[in-house]
Amino acid sequence: MTFLDQAKTVRSGESLDTVKIGEFLKREFPGLNGPLNAYQFHKGYSNLTYLIIAGDTELVLRRPPFGRKAKSAHDMNREYRILSAINPVFAYAPEPLAFCEDTSVMEAPFYVMQRLRGVILRKGLREVLTLGESGTARLCRRWLDVLCEMHALDYRSCGLADLGNPEGYVSRQVHGWSRRYREACTDDAPDFEAVMNWLKNTMPADSANPCLIHNDYKFDNVVLDPADMTRLLGVLDWEMATVGDPLMDLGACLAYWVQEGDNGELQLIRTLPTTAPGMLTRRQIVQMYAEKTGTDTGNIAWYYCFGLFRLAVIAQQIYYRFFHGQTHDQRYKALAIAVQILEKTVQQVIETGEY
């Protein structure tokens, strides 16, 4: 049985013009030959990812989703620039190969990068269960090691000093994501006003040690070595990366980390195999991160709440497209329930301080 991540037939309404893309790629890579075929990686809810095969060559193409998009989101040039800057110094960044914003090729900007062949862990437990408890714990520690390595990068020497503004970062995130939620709110969604007010009134000061943060670091955004699934080969999906507070990154990680013992509603929206035997708990992750980096994590419950809220905003933005008929992908329908569950979870953490 193979656990390699596989591309499938392109979804209806998300096809590519392989003739025009083929002409572009052959200009960029003169040695490219053979007919071009496109397949799609169906997982993920944001930018679309395709496998492009031409002869013996395999490339990955990334483009924005179809339909209404947040104005500042899905910036392909920005994502390409980040990968170009960190690929030489961070072994887990895929190599970007070509960028295109020519609307005669595609109506939206896109880029192509190297394909990393490996295992990507998703909700199912079958892959991780083959590791056993000790192997799973080792995978968790290595996953956390890579996050710490990322946060230790010298983003200035990489040429990313202007990627983001650390001053006022937390405040901008709170106000910006609150605005996005209000803009994407539908009649069947909770208003989140109490949560947004709490986040605004209790927000921490700016980090004294800003760094490059991924903002979506989780198991289904890392590629594992099929020969040793405790070894990471790469980190994917850099669209939300910026320079900011490392605890915002950690809080985003925790928001995805549904663990054994969480209530049934939270288990219902679990998207990762984080309940498998041997998985670390959220508290263990926080403790290990603090030990590895020397970061004060005493206020991590706030960052966890913000991570949950931000996840709800992302889900609501995607659901907005389904609600208004801009996409017919039936996966998006269930996101309305996820938003409601996330609102309840944030309220519980605010009341108890437990994470």
pLDDT of residue 44: 66
Query: Which of 57-66, 82-91, 146-155, 283-292 comes out lowest in average pLDDT?
Result: 57-66
CA neighbor of 125 nearest in space, from 22, 304, 258, 303: 258
- Rounded to two decimals, what is the model's pTM? 0.92
Question: Which segments of the chain does DSSP mark as H helices, in order?
Answer: 18-28, 76-86, 126-129, 132-151, 169-184, 193-202, 246-256, 264-268, 282-293, 300-323, 335-352
Mean pLDDT of 194-215: 97
Residue showing tokens 């590519």: 16
pLDDT in tens, 156-170: 999 999 999 999 999
* 310-336 per-position pLDDT tens digit: 999 999 999 998 888 887 778 888 899
Cross-strand pairs, 96:
113
pLDDT one-digit tens code per residue, 128-156: 889 999 999 999 999 999 999 999 999 99
Domains and CATH numbers, the chain: 18-114 (3.30.200.20), 126-352 (3.90.1200.10)
pLDDT of 46 reads 74
According to the model, what pLDDT value does residue 45 have? 62
Mean pLDDT of the chain: 93
Neighbours of 278 (CB within 10 A): 16
